[in-house]
Amino acid sequence: MTVENIEKVDKMINRTFGSCVVKEKIAVGGFGTVYKAIDTKLDVPRALKIFHPHLSEEKGFRQRFEIEMRLLAQLDHINIVRIISAIDEPDITGFIMEYVEGKTLADILEDDGAFPIQTALDVFIQVGKSIAYAHNLKHQIIHRDLSPDNIMIRPDDVVKIMDFGIAKTIGSERVTQTGIVLGKPTYMAPEQFEGTVSAYTDQYALGVILYEMVTGRVPFDAESPIALYKLHLNEDPIPPVELNEKVPTFLNNVILKTLAKDEKDRFKNVDELIDVLLNQGSPTTRLENKITPLIIDAHLAVDRENFGEALEIYDKILAMEPSNKEALTKKQETLQLVKTHQEQDLIEEWFHQAQAFHEAAMHEEAFNYVKDFLKLACHYQNSKTVTRYISSLQKRMPETFSSAQNAVKEELENSQKITRVGKKLFQQNKFAQALEKFEEALLINPYSELIQKLQSLCHKKIKMAKIAEMYRDAIMALKNEKYAEAVHWFEEVLKLHSGHKDARKYLEMAQAELSRLQKNRSEVDDKYKQAVEEYNNWNFTRAIQIVEEVLHIDGEHKDAEKLLRETKDRIDEGNKMEEIAFFYNQGMTFFKGQQWDKAIKCYERVLRYMETHIGAEKYKQLAEKKLKDQVQIDQALQEGLENFRNSKYTQAIKSFDFILTLDKNHKGARQYKTLCDELRGLGAES
C-alpha cells in the first residue's frame, strides 16, 4: 500500500458517512478495515467495513460490490450481522453494519480450547440455522468464507455471522476471475480449491468448525495451501471421538459425514444436518408426514363429537405450520359445530323448561321460555327435532305458544328495522352510531349471525379509525419534534395493533430523538452553568466559547443569548487585542503546518474583532488559495496515478507537472514524475 493510501486510512477517524461518524479502528483483515462509528441521529454504535484501496481500484470491483450489496440486503436473520447501508464514494467503498459486542469464535477457541459438547451444539445450531436460511432464499446465497473468524458470540450467547461480503447468487453471471479461490484453506472443501463453490462447500466448512469446537483442533493442518489441499482431498480426518472421548457417537458420525470428500456423501442440505443434530442422530420425518396423522386424529375426534380434543390437535398443527389451510378451515368448522351444539342444547333446555312452567301454571315464565326458544329455533328451521318441539308446544300450550309467536315476530321485525338503520349509518361511516343500533338489535335478537357480523365489523372499523387517528397524531407530533407526545401515541397504536410496522419503526425513531434531546438538555444545562461560572470569574473569552457551544446545541436558549451579549460587552479593548493576538498567532501556526481550514477559521476570528487587520486578511486569502490548490492537487494526483497504472506516462507527467506548479515541494509528484520519465525512456509507454 502506498504512503498516500496509508494516510487516507488514517484520515478515516472523524470522517462522516450519512449520520455515522467514525471513531476508532477495530480490526484489519484481508479484504478491508473495520471501524467503530457512532450514529449521531440514533445515538447507537455502528460498524463500518472499508475495503482496502487496492481492491477498490481493481477493475470490475465496483461492479462486484454493487451486486454483493444487493445480495446482502436480502439477509434478515437474527444470527446474521445486519447490513444498514452501502458506502460508495470516489475514494472509498464499504458498508455500514450493526455493531456487535463480543468475541469471535476464533478468539474463544484460542483462549479456552474445545467447548463442552452441549455448548458447542448450542453455538453451532445458531450458525447452521443462519447458513440454512441464506441457502433457502429465492436467490440462494453461499457464504464461501466460513471460519471461526467470521463468527461473533455476544455476551448474551447470541451468535452473529459476519462477512457474507464475498457471497454471490448461485447461477448468476460470474464477476470474479475464473479460477480464483475464495475462502480460508483450512476450512475449504476439496472442490473449493478447484474453483467449485456450492451449498455443500459451506456445509464442509461447518463440519470443520464443529470438529474444531469439540476437539480444540482442526482436522487438517499444513504450512501451505497446496499441502492443505492434498490433505483435504486424500486424507481421512482423525475421528473426533479419538481426540475427545466425550464426543457422542452420533455427533462423531455427523461431523465425519459433513467432511466427506465427495459432496454427494454429505447431508443433502444444512437443514438436514441441523435436523439430525437436534434429534441426536435420527432425522425427523417430513413435516407433511407429521401433520397428516394429526389431521386424521382431529377428524376422528370431531366424529366422536369430542370438539375440545379436535381443537387442541388443530392448534398443535398450526403451531407447527401456521399457514396450513386445511387445519385453519377445519378449526373454524369445528368452532361452528361447537356453537351449533351449544345452541341446540339451549333449544332442548328451553323446550323442557317451558313445559315445566306451563304444567306448574307459571304462565309468564312459560311465555318467556317459549319466546327464547322460538328466537333461537328460527335459525334451525330444517331441524326435525326443532320441528317436533314446535309441534309439541303448539299442542300442549296453544295460547301461550301463539302469544309468544306473535311477540317474537314483532320483536324480530323491530330488530330488522333497527338493523336497517344501523346499516345506513354504517354506509355513512358513522360507525359508533351504527354500533349502538346493532347492539340494540342484538338485545332483541341475540342469535342473529348477520347482526353479530355487522357488530364485529363496526368494532373493527372503529378500531381502525382510532388507530388511524392516533397514528396521525403521532406523525404530526414527530414532525413538530414533540417526541414525548409522539412516543405516547405510537405506543397507543401498538397496543391496538401490535403488528403496525410503521408505528414500531417511528416509535424507535421518536424514542431515539427523545433520548438525544434529554441528553442534549442535560449537556446544555451543564455547559450553561459552566459559562456562568467562567463569567463570574472574569474569564470572558472562555465564557464566550462555552456559551457559543450552548447556542450551537440549542439556538433558542434565551439565557445563553443574554449571557453572550453581556459577556461581549464586558470585554474591553485590551481583552480584544489579547484575543486578536492569540488567534492571529494560532492562525500562523496552522498556516505553517499547512492546516489551511483551521488557519482560515483563526483569521476569520481576528477579522471579526478587527476588520482592518492587514496580516489576517492577507494570510486568510493565501490559506483559501492553498486550500483550493489542495483540492486541485488531490484531483491531479488521482488522475496522474490512474494514468501511471495504465502506463500512460506522458499524460501522467502532465498531471505531476501541474501539481508541481502549485506545490514545487510536493514529494510524491516529483518522485512519480521522475519514475515516469525513466519508464518512458525505456519505451514502456502503452
> Are 191 and 201 spatial neighbours (Cβ–Cβ below 8 Å)?
yes
Could you give the CA distance from residue 239 to residue 256 in angstroms, rounded to a whole number?
7
Instruction: Return left, alpha or beta for 496; rule: phi > 0 is left, psi -120 to 50 is alpha, else beta.
Output: alpha
Letter string b/e over residues 33-57, b meaning 16 or more CB atoms within 10 A of that residue's CB: bbbebbbeebeeebbbbbbbbeebb
629 is catalytic: no
The terminus-to-terminus CA distance of the chain in angstroms comes to 24
CA atoms within 13 A on the CB side of 389: 26
The phi-psi region of residue 83 (left if phi > 0; otherwise alpha if psi is between -120 and 50; otherwise beta) is beta
Distance CA(430)–CA(165), nearest Å, equals 55
682: DSSP letter: T
- 8-state DSSP, 94: E
Cβ(618)–Cβ(636) under 8 Å? no
Catalytic residue among 39, 145, 315, 629: 145
Distance, CA of 410 to CA of 542 (rounded, Å): 89
DSSP 125-160: HHHHHHHHHHHTSSS-B-----SGGGEEE-TTS-EE
Instruction: Print the SS3 string covering 470-522.
Output: HHHHHHHHHHCCCHHHHHHHHHHHHHHCCCCHHHHHHHHHHHHHHHHHHHHHH
**Which stretches does DSSP call E strand in 527-600?**
none
Between CA 328 and CA 324 the distance in angstroms is: 6
3-state secondary structure of 21: strand
**Three cell numbers, residue 285:** 420425518
Question: Which residues are known catalytic residues?
Answer: 145
